[in-house]
Chain A
């Protein structure tokens, strides 16, 4: 049962992302990316990371993609659609990706002795579940990186504003 869902979601992800990469129209690509994110949150729920799934949807789909769409709006994208979409070296790129896939496949095929599967103690959706565990770990062991991440975001915001600001010459 779980396997089925897993295969379903992963097929979704792969299909959407393949399409996203190949679409000439930027808006279609953006929407396809949002679709990928939805399938991904599915995978996360399967893996028992509910909080992450929700964050994926909220932040990625909601936040970042909205940002993309806005910026697409600001830039007159139509001009680039007519141009040659693919890069001269795209053939090499595809070839390299295929080789890489094949290589990863053999590595995983070879497998290896993973330690025994432990999985999580709590049930899906139970009250002392994923979120509580995540919260406790996040605010004790990883408190410092958490603060750094917030500062990083602040820096990114300021950076974005400075870059994108139109120079108002008095």
Chain B
């Protein structure tokens, strides 16, 4: 997929009621009720899930929202896209 296509994609986080989130240390354990799968995640994953929400955001909207909330040490859209791809593969984010 070309990057221009990716910018138009709407990413949606799994709704909070299907996630059970337990911070352990730098890692956070997430039980995804819809899939029955446990994920152990590191930052910035919990932050992305919170900022993304279920309404749907584009990459640019999401990175702007994260920038409002945090000091982004590497404001790299490609890196954010990689994180979202990973989240989509895990089923915690959908693009459809």
Partners in one complex: no
Interface residues of A (CB under 8 A from B): none
Interface residues of B (CB under 8 A from A): none
